[in-house]
Chains A and B, each alone.
Chain A
């Protein structure tokens, strides 16, 4: 098998962030929320505080490590919700057709006409800021591509001989969808899911940056940046490191998604894109 640079670089980057987040209690130097000490406010990066400290004297290195937990949780869980919704709607619409197909198509078109970050913002206006609300807002707003893809793939697969064969053996609709169709459309869905996770990490950061996601003092990379603009003249490191962490995570997921596409979805029309 040929060496795929994007898959490897992406995989290693993503794995490093996952390990950093998982081992945060052991790798961090201080508690990310409690260890505020105004005596240490805005210390520049050095041997004691690797990434410097913020305006309340908290160690940015420790907060970036703990921030990985929130970003990855939001990215993975919300994208899983999107994938389940998209696959369930798209596969059933393609399989059953009829009024249900029309309904799902209408719903998908409606979703596609509202920019997803703006939709998520509107949902956050209703809910209280916090982790659960973020998961709901981001999990309900980005399933339309998965849905379209699942529907199109199901339409072509349900005509195949092996689906007919399964039906003639007496398999029910649910069983056919789960055991015959789903495995055959899984490749492209995994690719879209991986790329969507990167998008969800960016969206979480943006919402928390706007003060509508994770609220301070909890360390989310986006919320760490929310008051950074005011301190950028005196303490630019407060802005630099959380942003770098977001960038590397999303870069890893995007490279991983591209690499997976070459393997799992070689006939994609976006193959070269």
Chain B
């Protein structure tokens, strides 16, 4: 098991390097250099001398390949550069924002799994039944809702009218602040999970090994738990891993809407201000997180289904 995890981690290094390269190239071709856009901001005259000094300070004068080599070299020592805006090391702002982001992501996933999986499972037990119809309407709607709009509506209903939860902010980790953003972020994966679970259970229930298990005289509960649920779980987990990227995209928007101090809102603010080192670092961190989630999913699948080999 451990060698497998280590091998997967090593395999993700070239992908991370390629992403770093891609992000680096993208931001080296920006029309108009950073220093003069910063200077021009709110000033009529651009001071050429100051532009030159800023370019030297941030190492923007060197040829592209040298800048890339420097960049990768620094990445290896976790030196993510200095923010153009705050003049602080980027790693500091990332570190203080990782925990809020993780909190929000975990709360949203708990909500999505806790409601979505049972809903899909129950729906599949009676295809075409009342619950099945209802849950599939929920699923199709959930996948079509703009998450930030759902967030706005939740804010209006549960924070402003009912006053049950604070409308936005982090509240120093008070869990009441977590509820609305987590629900807004969790509804789309909930819908996806309900749909996938239903499809997976329906597919597995018709499989030969389930008929055999019943024929052997196993109780229905045992068949469901050991034969249907386990096999369906692999399909559901794989889909979840593949779709996790879109959940992360949603998190960026939800963090911004709820003024949640996570990586996503940092990314959006840095994009607006063209704070390139921070944008690069956020993207790399999010891609790393996405890769790790998919490794965890693969390991879980292998644990659940002994037919999957660690290769």
- The answer to whether B23 and A232 have CB atoms under 8 Å apart is no
Q: Does B291 contact A (CB under 8 A)?
A: yes
Residue A125, interface by CB 8 Å: yes
Cβ B146 vs Cβ A243 within 8 A: yes
B302 — which chain A residues lie within 8 A by C-beta? none
A250 touching B249 in the complex, CB below 8 Å, given contacts A233-B160, A243-B149: no
- A202 touches which of B146, B153, B156 (Cβ 8 Å): B146
For residues 26 through 80 of chain B, which have their beta carbon under 8 Å from a beta carbon of chain A?
26-27, 29-31
Residue of B nearest to A205 (CB): B146
Q: In the complex, what distance in Å separates the CA atom of A113 from the CA atom of B143?
A: 22
Is A210 in contact with B26, judged by CB distance below 8 angstroms?
no
Whether A247 lies near B144 (C-beta < 8 A) is: yes
Establish whether residues A122 and B202, one from each chain, have CB atoms under 8 Å apart when the complex forms. Answer: no
Q: How far is the CB of A23 from chain B (nearest CB, A)?
A: 24
Hey, which chain B residues are within 8 Å of A243, CB to CB? 146, 149, 152-153
Contact indicator per residue, chain A 193-222, by CB within 8 Å of chain B (1) or not (0): 000001100110110011110000000001
Contact B286 A122 (CB under 8 A): no
Residues 219-234 of A at the B interface (beta carbon under 8 Å): 222, 225, 228-229, 232-233
Q: Which of A101-126 contact B (CB under 8 A)?
A: 106, 109-110, 112-119, 121-126
Q: A247-B144, A254-B140 are in contact. Are A115 and B199 (CB under 8 A)?
A: no
What separation, in Å, do the CA atoms of A222 and B246 have in the docked complex? 18
Q: Which stretch in B99-107, B172-180, B267-275 binds the other chain?
A: B267-275
Interface string of B233-270 (1 = CB under 8 A from A): 00000000000111011101100110000000001101
CA distance A126 to B247 in the complex (A): 24
| B153 smallest CB distance to A (angstroms) | 7
Best-buried of B30, B252, B270, B271 by chain A (most CB within 10 Å): B271
On whether the beta carbons of B283 and A254 are closer than 8 Å, the reply is no
Closest A residue to B264 using CB positions = A118
Q: How far is the CA of A92 from the CA of B146 in the complex (A)?
A: 35
The stretch of B14-22, B211-219, B222-230 in contact with A is: B14-22
- What mask results when residues 132 to 158 of chain B are scored 1 for a CB within 8 Å of chain A, else 0? 000000001101111111001101100
Q: Are A272 and B199 in contact (CB under 8 A)?
A: yes
Q: Does A255 contact B (CB under 8 A)?
A: yes
Evaluate contact between A114 and B146: CB separation under 8 angstroms: no
Given contacts A122-B279, A229-B155, A254-B140, contact A110 B22 (CB under 8 A): yes
- For B271-296 the 0/1 string (1 means CB < 8 A from A) is 11010100100010011001100000
Encoded as 1 (CB less than 8 Å from any B CB) or 0, chain A from 153 to 190 comes to 00000000000000000000000000000000000000
Contact, CB under 8 Å: B155 / A121: no
Q: How far is the CB of B151 from chain A (nearest CB, A)?
A: 9
Does chain B have a CB within 8 A of A82? no
Contact flag A115-B248 (CB < 8 Å), given A122-B26, A236-B156, A239-B156? yes
Answer whether A115 and B286 are a contact pair too, CB < 8 Å, given A110-B19, A121-B252: yes
Check if B160 sits within 8 Å of A232, measured CB to CB. Answer: yes
What is the CA–CA distance of A233 and B29 in the complex, to the nearest angstrom?
Answer: 43
Tell me whether A250 and B144 are in contact in the complex, defined as CB-CB below 8 angstroms, given that A117-B246, A243-B149, A272-B203 are known contacts. Answer: yes
In the complex, whether A81 has a CB less than 8 A from a CB of chain B is: no
> Given contacts A114-B283, A229-B152, is CB(A247)–CB(B146) below 8 Å?
yes
Listed residue (A6, A106, A115) with the most chain B CB atoms within 10 angstroms of its CB: A115
A113 contacts B15, CB within 8 Å? yes
Q: Does A39 contact B (CB under 8 A)?
A: no
Q: How far is the CA of A147 from the CA of B74 in the complex (A)?
A: 34
For A210, the closest partner residue in chain B by CB is B268
State the CA gap A225–B147 with chains docked (Å). 12
Question: Which B residues touch A117, using CB under 8 A?
Answer: 246, 249-250, 252-253
The interface residues of chain A lying within 8 Å CB-to-CB of B253 are: 117, 206, 209-210
Residues of chain B within 8 A of A272, CB atoms compared: 198-199, 202-203
Enumerate chain B residues within 8 angstroms of A122, measured Cβ to Cβ. 23, 26, 271, 279, 283
Task: Knowing A114-B283, A273-B196, say if A121 contacts B271 (CB, 8 Å).
Answer: yes
Partner of A123, one of B26, B274, B286, B287: B26
A3 interfacial by beta-carbon distance below 8 Å: no
Contact of B267 (CB < 8 Å), options: A121, A229, A232 = A121
Q: Taking CB as reference atom, which chain B residue is nearest A238?
A: B152
What is the chain B residue whose CB lies nearest that of A250? B144
**Of A113, A198, A205, A209, which is within 8 A of B287 by CB?**
A113
Given contacts A113-B19, A206-B146, A243-B146, contact A126 B287 (CB under 8 A): no
Q: 8 tightest A-B contacts by CB?
A: A117-B249, A243-B149, A115-B245, A251-B144, A273-B199, A250-B144, A125-B271, A272-B199
**Chain B residues in the interface with A (C-beta under 8 A):** 15, 18-19, 22-23, 26-27, 29-31, 140-141, 143-149, 152-153, 155-156, 160, 168, 195-196, 198-199, 202-203, 244-246, 248-250, 252-253, 256-257, 267-268, 270-272, 274, 276, 279, 283, 286-287, 290-291
Q: A209-B148, A229-B257 are in contact. List 11 more A-B contacts (CB 8 A).
A: A106-B18, A114-B19, A117-B249, A125-B27, A205-B149, A210-B268, A229-B168, A233-B160, A246-B146, A247-B146, A273-B196
